């Protein structure tokens, strides 16, 4: 029993002992325990008036009556005191309980690290892959058919995080394209989660630089996936090697659309979520170059293309401020292949880049065809 509860119980017992008269006026029975006899003794002492004190004479019956009527009722006042103590103890207990309420709420709202146990009847062999701004991704095997898939779940179960997570995923089911990571299902129950295609490799896992034709084929696939998404009104805004997954035949598939947004909503979800090494100038200085849009994806595709043929990003600086300054003001060294296409993608002013992913795709395919004919 907690100390607060024990104290309250003791006070309550004392209160009952003081206000409830004994069943036998002659005193407690012989078999009563010591505590009962002590309580009776206290009651007797409290109720003894001044006339009962040793050595005091009683002159007349009238004087005795006046003394008894003038004497206070100690038993009643003791009961009042006990009630006050009881109320105070209750208040202290309530305050302590209220202090515990936030911790209890956090226990309900927050999800501990690891694969949600509510999904254990659907998946087994879950393994952590990575974590984003709103969710965690696990590889897991479906119990019904044994297929290995990727499962993305929100970091927490509070309403705000859950709503943001579902908003992030709401448009992914419509983005069905060979160069976009496939989403199998978006679910709310038993917990919010998204089941996706599982691919273990990204562009980060390739040894670079790549042969120019291989690099161009991957860049063309990225452009094709972006062209489809842009037609659906969705921009990505965080194209980088880690977000390009690879099939066994090196077909690129764009993943992690969490930084993206619907173009028509005007949402700013992707403005501050970029990766600096691949960020477009308008993501760093929107006041100078305008708000990020579909042409931001074109710049970032050019930055990835540049790394595929050179082995490094177009700009590098150990100091973040220096890196941002270089992106805004410096010109990258020309790459050894497909330089005209890549450098146009990397124009500072979005108006000087390819104006659509389809235009970029056509340029890459034409260059690949020309290279094959020579």
Residue 126: Cβ within 10 Å count: 16
Distance of alpha carbon 47 from the chain centroid? 65
Sheet holding 252-254, edge to edge: 201-202, 244-246, 252-254
Contact present, 306 and 314 (Cβ < 8 Å): yes
149 strand-pairing partners: 140
- 238 catalytic residue (yes or no): yes
What distance in Å separates the CA atoms of residue 82 and residue 76, rounded to the nearest whole number? 10
Strands (E), the chain: 123-131, 135-142, 148-154, 183-187, 193-196, 201-202, 234-235, 244-246, 252-254, 261-262
Widest pairwise Cα distance in the chain: 138
Q: What angle do CA 254, 251, 262 make, to 5 degrees?
A: 20
Length of the chain in terms of residues written: 374
List CB contacts of 311: < 8 A, sequence separation 6 or more. 208, 209
Which one of the listed residues 238, 249, 317, 330 is annotated catalytic? 238
- DSSP-derived secondary structure letter, 50: G
Say if strands 193-196 and 148-154 run parallel, antiparallel, or are unpaired. antiparallel
Report the catalytic residues.
238
């Amino acid at each position: 029993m907690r100390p607060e509860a024990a104290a309250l119980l003791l006070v309550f017992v004392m209160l009952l002992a003081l206000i409830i008269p004994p069943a036998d006026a002659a005193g407690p029975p012989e078999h009563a325990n010591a505590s009962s006899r002590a309580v009776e003794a206290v009651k007797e002492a409290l109720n003894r008036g001044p006339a009962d004190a040793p050595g005091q004479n009683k002159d007349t019956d009238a004087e005795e009556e006046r003394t008894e009527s003038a004497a206070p009722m100690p038993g009643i006042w003791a009961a009042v005191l006990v009630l006050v103590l009881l109320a105070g103890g209750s208040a202290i207990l309530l305050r302590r309980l209220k202090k515990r309420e936030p911790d209890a709420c956090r226990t309900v709202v927050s999800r501990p690290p690891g694969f949600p146990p509510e999904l254990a009847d659907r998946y087994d062999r879950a393994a952590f892959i990575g974590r984003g701004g709103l969710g965690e991704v696990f590889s897991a095997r479906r119990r019904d058919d044994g297929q290995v898939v990727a499962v993305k779940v929100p970091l927490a179960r509070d309403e705000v995080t859950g709503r943001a997570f579902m908003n992030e995923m709401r448009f992914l089911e419509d983005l069905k394209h060979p160069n976009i990571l496939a989403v199998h299902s978006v679910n709310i129950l038993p917990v919010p989660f998204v089941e996706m295609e599982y691919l273990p490799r990204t562009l980060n896992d390739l040894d670079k630089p790549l042969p120019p034709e291989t690099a161009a084929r991957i860049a063309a696939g990225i452009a094709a996936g972006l062209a489809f998404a842009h037609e659906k009104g969705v921009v990505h805004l965080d194209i980088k090697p880690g977000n390009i997954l690879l099939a066994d035949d090196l077909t690129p598939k764009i993943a992690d659309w969490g930084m993206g947004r619907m173009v028509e909503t005007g949402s700013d979800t992707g403005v501050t979520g970029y990766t600096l090494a691949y960020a477009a100038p308008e993501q760093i200085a929107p006041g100078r170059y305008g708000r990020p849009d579909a042409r931001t994806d074109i710049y970032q595709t050019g930055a990835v293309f540049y790394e595929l043929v050179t082995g490094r990003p177009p700009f590098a600086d150990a100091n973040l401020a220096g890196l941002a300054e270089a992106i805004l003001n410096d010109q990258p060294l020309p790459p050894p292949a497909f330089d005209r296409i890549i450098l146009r993608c990397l124009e500072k002013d979005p108006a000087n880049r390819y104006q659509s992913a389809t235009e970029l795709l056509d340029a890459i395919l034409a260059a690949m065809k020309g290279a094959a004919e020579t």
